[in-house]
Chains A and B, each alone.
Chain A
Amino acid sequence: MNEISSTAPPEEATDEPLSIKLSIARQLSDRPQIVLIAVLVALIVVTAIIEPNYLSLAGLRNSAFFAVPIGVLAAGQTILMLTAGIDLSIAMIATASAYIAANQSPNGAAIAIILGLLFGIVAGTANGIGVGIFRVNPLIMTLATSGILLGLFTGWATTIFAGSTRMHDFIITLGRGTFLDGNVPWSVVVWIGVSIFVLLLLRRTGYGRNLYALGDNPIAARLSGTRAWQVLVVAYAISGLLGAVAGLLMGGRIGAADLQLAGFLLLPSVAAAVIGGTSIFGGVGTYTGTILGALILGVLQSLLTFLGAGQAVQQVLYGTIVVGLSWMYSRLAAAS
């Protein structure tokens, strides 16, 4: 037996005091929120220096208007990225849901909202069936769904949906209305509701545990009895639903449906989740981080506007952020 004890593997470094570098790396990879809050505050300060008027409710409100749809879309991305998936169709689902809601607006806000959301769930479920049951790669599946929806709605825009493209007033209020003397957008309230739902889902439910388990190690999840297809179908359905919510808010803000409504939000929705520390390889991430990511993008957008940078520059920046932060987080995880 002493043979074995002489070859016993040494205990890992956990038994020794951690080096300062390692413990900083661990802190950052375990709690990126601290850094994110610092970045957010710094961005707000910089923006305020460039444009002193920014530090007013009106200024911050503009950032919020931009951050809300990103935050809602990024909730879907976060949920799917936790399973090592992604939803490239989420912006198109948002646009399509807005079309349906606009078309149904003459029938009342309730019908318009319900049908819009229902469409999101159906489209998301289709993604989920493709990924979860037929094992289609999530990138391919959702990219295909996005293409199909774009084609269908381009055709339908002049036929089936040729009627109303104007949103119901209630949806417009949700999208661009405010309360408390015009200081707080209603869309922020919707986002808070979405946030509570997603935070509870990820942290306080058995379903959330399955999501993380599946993304971290699908084999281990399977051997623990997790049935991946069920988890995935539900995850994509939720993502579709969140896409629809964002679509209604966007449609309400513009006042009408439009094929270009939400497409430009796809990259920022991924960027918000990545900034927030959600790994595209699954198993790691929080919605708290994503919320901070969306807020950072909201402030950044205001900053860029003040600097006179256009849509093109913004997209370049979002792409750079996604690549740079993905690299940084993976380095951090490896170092810790």
Chain B
Amino acid sequence: MTTSQQPLLSTAGIAKSYGPVIALTSVDLSVAPGEIHALLGANGAGKSTLVKILASVFDADVGSVTINGAAVNLKGPGEATEAGIATVFQDPALIPDLSLDQNLTISGLRHSDVVPWLERMQLADLDFGLLVRDIPLASLRLVDLARALAHDPQLLMLDEITAALTPEQADRVFDVMREWKSMNRSVLFISHRLGEVLRICDVATILRNGRDVAHLDLSGIDEAELVTAMLGEELARGSKAGSPDAAPSRQTLSDKDRGVVLAAKDLHFRGRINGVSFELRRGEILGVTALEGQGQNELFALLSGDHRPTSGEIEINGERLSAYSPYKAIRKGLVLVPGSRHDALLPQRSIRENLATPLYNRIGRWFSLVADESERVDGAVARLNIDTRAASQVRRLSGGNQQKVTIGRWLVSDFEVLLCFDPTRGIDIQTKAQIYELLKELARDGAAVLMYSSELREIPLVCDRVLVMYDGSIVHEQSAATATEEILLTAAHGLESAPA
């Protein structure tokens, strides 16, 4: 859908970093009037950051935004709305402890502005006196949409609005999108569901690692072609050839040493996890991958004792985990490297204290310091090659060194199963390689590792076997050595993999 028209909105060279983490490197995007434009990309590609910059929630570090041919410098979401941009963000933008009415008042809208749209969404009977926290997520998403529509925007941005909706509700959203198109207005649509993207969208911009890597006309493209485009040609070829480092032989453990150490049996959790079962053996690195929000966060929270499963069991060395708390899980040898370093580090304490903290979690260890604390800490620092020049407060360390500290704390105490949630997210390539090597070493020494990764390329580099989750279930399992990115990405979208 190439048009000679002036674009409704265009960007040039948008870049954004959060401290040392680069979210967007350079993005050019152009949305024509009367166009439903898909914004696609893997987790962390920068989609949501771009949306927030366009909605003027964040300022870009570099780059320009042009609306209807005029360069704009929007200051805050209010000005974006005035400029004709309305957004439904990935998370509901409503205050949970206020009623719907009060929320609408805060955003400067009247009842009569949103009611017609809610009727269109078949939510006319929604009680506006209800607290937002008591309203189901799907309804809130539609309220968010009604709120955006009430501003009568030229450009409607929808960030994963359909993820929480039923197919019928999603259809109503699509109807509105088509209506917007018919009025020669535009929609920027983000979704991981490629089927609906192809059904509803005209063109797509694909982001990878914070750059726009492809601009596609979606007419006549099928899902497989879209997946290939998302991977990029070079990478698709690379993933087919497999990595030279793939499938390191790890036969140093004899068969009898490779017993099952962790078993999940039909785990369920509040509709977010629906019957997950798997076994993890000593010396094995089991990968888990999924698109965002497919239950992987909850699975790791269950395994680390942070949540109690609605039903199902977790067994460690054949013993049932009966009480659920991180303390119990840790005592059984099930330890977590959380996805966010903010959840793992004591930012104002030293490397030493960060590393040694788990040694003291039981009361029996409260009365003194462990005699060999120094040796243990020094051992972990040396093994992980942690840069100790800013050792007095770990908040001053680089992201890579911080991540080493979060892993290192489990080298200082003992564990059986290491649960790693996206351990290499946002860190430099050299540290990534060190972490891969460490995980393999730990497995060689007899530990079991369960690693979630949002970066598909990592899976064959590190893992022996891989599970793919979709919608709270494991939909695919295979040897990691033969796991190409196409296979994984296809499975992660809940699609049947094409026969090889």
- A220 pairs with B369, CB closer than 8 A: no
Q: Is A51 an interface residue (CB 8 A)?
A: no
- A212 pairs with B353, CB closer than 8 A: yes
Q: Please, which residues of chain B bring their CB within 8 A of the CB of A1?
A: 429, 457
B365 nearest CB across to chain A (Å): 4
1/0 contact string of A172-196 vs chain B (CB within 8 Å): 0000000000000000000000000
Decide if the interface of chain B is mainly helix, strand, loop or mixed: loop
A120 nearest CB across to chain B (Å): 20
B335 nearest CB across to chain A (Å): 9
Q: How far is the CA of A212 from the CA of B393 in the complex (A)?
A: 13
Given A212-B346, A225-B358, A283-B346, decide whether A12 and B398 contact each other with a Cβ distance below 8 A.
yes
Q: Is A210 an interface residue (CB 8 A)?
A: yes
Q: Name which residue of chain B comes closest to A10, CB basis.
A: B20
- A8 pairs with B429, CB closer than 8 A: yes
Q: Please, which residues of chain A bring their CB within 8 A of the CB of B400?
A: 9, 11
Q: Is A219 an interface residue (CB 8 A)?
A: yes
Q: Is A217 an interface residue (CB 8 A)?
A: yes
- B368 pairs with A205, CB closer than 8 A: yes
- B338 pairs with A207, CB closer than 8 A: no
Q: Please, which residues of chain B bring their CB within 8 A of the CB of A220?
A: 343-346, 357
Interface residues on B, range: 35 or more
- A14 pairs with B390, CB closer than 8 A: yes
Q: Please, which residues of chain A bring their CB within 8 A of the CB of B361?
A: 210, 224-227
Chain B, 330-366, CB within 8 A of any chain A CB: 330-331, 336, 338, 342-349, 353, 356-363, 365-366
- A225 pairs with B331, CB closer than 8 A: yes
- A206 pairs with B306, CB closer than 8 A: no
Query: Which of B19, B336, B346 is in CB contact (< 8 Å) with A217?
Result: B346
- B346 pairs with A213, CB closer than 8 A: yes
Q: How far is the CA of A60 from the CA of B369 in the complex (A)?
A: 37
- A223 pairs with B344, CB closer than 8 A: yes
Query: Which of B346, B387, B427 is in CB contact (< 8 Å) with A221?
Result: B346
Q: Please, which residues of chain B bring their CB within 8 A of the CB of A21?
A: none
Q: How far is the CA of A279 from the CA of B347 in the complex (A)?
A: 14
A311 nearest CB across to chain B (Å): 36
Q: How far is the CA of A333 from the CA of B398 in the complex (A)?
A: 17
Residue among A10, A11, A283, A336 with the most chain B CB within 10 A?
Answer: A11
Query: Which of A213, A223, A226, A230 is in CB contact (< 8 Å) with B338?
Result: A223
Q: Name which residue of chain B comes closest to A5, CB basis.
A: B429
- B358 pairs with A216, CB closer than 8 A: no
Q: How far is the CA of A119 from the CA of B453 in the complex (A)?
A: 54
Q: Please, which residues of chain A bring their CB within 8 A of the CB of B360?
A: 206-207, 209-210, 226
1/0 contact string of A294-335 vs chain B (CB within 8 Å): 000000000000000000000000000000000000000100
Q: Please, which residues of chain B bring their CB within 8 A of the CB of A169?
A: none
Q: Please, which residues of chain A bring their CB within 8 A of the CB of B393?
A: 30
Q: Is A64 an interface residue (CB 8 A)?
A: no
Q: Please, which residues of chain A bring their CB within 8 A of the CB of B398?
A: 9, 11-12, 14-15
Q: Please, which residues of chain A bring their CB within 8 A of the CB of B432?
A: 4
- B304 pairs with A223, CB closer than 8 A: yes
Query: Which of B343, B365, B366 is in CB contact (< 8 Å) with A219?
Result: B343
A238 nearest CB across to chain B (Å): 12
Q: Name which residue of chain A comes closest to B346, CB basis.
A: A216
Query: Which of A5, A11, A205, A213 is in CB contact (< 8 Å) with B367?
Result: A205
1/0 contact string of A244-286 vs chain B (CB within 8 Å): 0000000000000000000000000000000000010001100
Q: Name which residue of chain B comes closest to A214, CB basis.
A: B346
Q: Please, which residues of chain A bring their CB within 8 A of the CB of B102?
A: none
Query: Which of A206, A223, A227 is in CB contact (< 8 Å) with B370?
Result: A206
B417 nearest CB across to chain A (Å): 15
Given A10-B20, A207-B366, A212-B353, decide whether A3 and B209 contact each other with a Cβ distance below 8 A.
yes
Given A206-B369, A223-B338, decide whether A216 and B396 contact each other with a Cβ distance below 8 A.
no
- A230 pairs with B363, CB closer than 8 A: yes
List 17 other contacts, CB 8 Å, given A210-B366, A225-B358, A226-B361. A4-B209, A10-B20, A12-B20, A14-B398, A206-B360, A206-B368, A207-B367, A209-B356, A210-B360, A210-B361, A217-B342, A219-B342, A220-B344, A220-B357, A222-B326, A226-B357, A230-B363
Q: List 5 A-B contacts (CB under 8 A).
A: A206-B365, A207-B366, A212-B346, A224-B358, A227-B361
